[in-house]
Chain A
Amino acid sequence: MAKQLIELIVNGDRYEVAVEPGASLAEVLREELYLTGTKVGCNQGDCGACTVLVDGRSVSSCLTLAVEAHQREVTTIEGLAPSGETLHPLQEAFIEKGAVQCGFCSAGMILAAKALLDRNPAPSPEEIRHGLSGNLCRCTGYVKIVEAIQAASLKLAAGKEAR
């Protein structure tokens, strides 16, 4: 069973990769493209650590076959701070509010939060909790994460007004 050549558009960059049809997008991002910001926790869709955006929607990259992402736009945590210097407001808020402890869930949390804010720029704490119901955190107890996302939503709204 031959590898299949696919084209991935990850954080705006085009990659041609030969992948096993059974390989997950998470595996290919981490092991072929060395984008190791995406984490794999459960590998079965439960924990959300592997969350990435495909055409703007949050998905579990551990259950997405890489071949299915052929010519689709993938956003990983690396894509939120492309320069590596200026952080995305969500990332800043996670640091400011202490929403990161071990950090294993953070990449997935932040991408799930981005997908939420893209659809609903001013979510209530309840809506944030609903939007993040697919992302587990063993450390923080979630309170700081919800606060960080609220803070980021205010910051993003202020940024928009300023422009």
Chain B
Amino acid sequence: MPTPRFTFHQPQNLEQALDLVGMYRTNGKILAGGTDLVPKLRAGLMDVHHVVSLNRVPGLNRITFHEDDGLVIGAGARLADVALNPEVMKHYPGLAHACSVMATTQIRNMGTVAGNIVNSAPSADTAAPLLAYKAAVILVERGGRRHVPLTEFFSGPGLNVMEPMEIMEAIRVPSPPRRSGSAYLRLSARSKVDIAAVGVAGFLALDMDGVIIEARLALAAVAPTPLRCPEAEAMLAGQKPDPQLLTRAAAACVRACRPIDDVRATAAYRRKMVQVLAGRVIEQCYQTAERGDA
């Protein structure tokens, strides 16, 4: 395979990185873990003359949690570090699970959550849990900074609303309320390594009587982008789950998806699995929420 040719830049701070990204906005690419970008560069499908690495920019790999502000995942934070972060494991178990089962140990040591989101694959494993946790991304450019809710971020397979001179600086996730629970379940042909064929994430917040105050459900790998399921969420709000409600809410999730047949699964199988996994996710969320320890 021919070695891809480009000029490599290693900015030492965010200012320098923003200058470079601005300067090369037409034919430059940002590099984080490189696990998505390097294979693409090698395949020679992109006209890239400049690669700007974020890996020498200090402070980008921070992961911080405060009860009030929630979680901040810096764009340099590796999947493996997010997976093993005690606060992420405690407050955002769906995200911790996604980051610990996706890809391989080596890829998780290299790849970032931000890279997974910017890459915007329909099957991106961190996308569904982050949608369920109501995450937003922080995008910076030379002139300023904007927060974009993840629900408004993806625009198609491999596509999103970022401008070419923007850098994703961090991902912010609000703090979960006391009586809440969350989960992520994914299926793939092999248990690990393989890209997800179906991913379902959920979040439930309960009142003191165990009634659902807020429900959020999100799907991956079953539509052109990862997406939320507003119809199912509305069905659950104000209710206590029973088997019938679970079945109906899961069926609403199936209606939200627009799956395709591909090498990983058929559309029909994906629909069936959304029905099954959504039911399990809601149940799992409810059980942890009732314990009130999440």
Contact = CB atoms under 8 A, between A and B. Distances in A.
Interface of A: 1, 4, 20-24, 27, 43-46, 48, 51, 57-60, 63-65, 67-68, 70, 112, 115-116, 130-135
Nearest to B39: A44
Nearest to B80: A57
B46 interface: no
Contacts of A130: 105, 192
B193 A43 contact: no
The list of the 9 closest CB pairs from A to B, nearest first, reads A134-B104, A21-B8, A22-B4, A133-B192, A22-B3, A60-B106, A57-B109, A134-B106, A1-B5
A134 B34 contact: no
B162 interface: no
Contacts of A115: 105
B106 A45 contact: yes
30 contacts: A20-B5, A21-B7, A22-B4, A24-B38, A44-B39, A45-B104, A45-B106, A45-B107, A46-B104, A48-B104, A51-B106, A59-B109, A60-B106, A63-B39, A63-B107, A64-B34, A64-B38, A65-B8, A65-B34, A67-B8, A68-B31, A112-B105, A115-B105, A116-B105, A130-B105, A133-B105, A133-B192, A133-B193, A134-B103, A135-B104
Interface string B100-126: 000111110110000000000000000
Given A58-B105, A60-B110, A64-B34, A1 B7 contact: yes
B106 A48 contact: yes
Contacts of A43: 1, 42
Contact of A45 (B1, B5, B35): B35
Given A1-B6, A20-B5, A21-B51, A46 B193 contact: yes
Contacts of A22: 3-6, 41-42
A61 to B, nearest CB: 9
Nearest to A70: B10
B160 interface: no
Nearest to A108: B106
Contacts of B38: 24, 63-65
Given A63-B38, A133-B192, A134-B193, A4 B8 contact: yes
A81 to B, nearest CB: 22
Interface in B203-226: none
Given A45-B35, A45-B104, A135-B104, 7 more contacts: A21-B5, A22-B5, A48-B104, A58-B105, A63-B34, A68-B53, A112-B106
A57 B84 CA distance: 14
B106 A59 contact: yes
A66 to B, nearest CB: 10
Interface in B76-114: 80, 103-107, 109-110
Contact of A20 (B3, B35, B103, B106): B3
A131 B108 CA distance: 11
A22 B7 CA distance: 9
A76 B53 CA distance: 24
Interface string B1-44: 10111111010000000000000000000010011001101100
A151 B280 CA distance: 39
A110 B162 CA distance: 41
B105 A134 contact: yes
B35 A63 contact: yes
Given A63-B35, A65-B34, A58 B106 contact: yes
Nearest to B104: A134
A23 B3 contact: yes
A63 B6 CA distance: 16
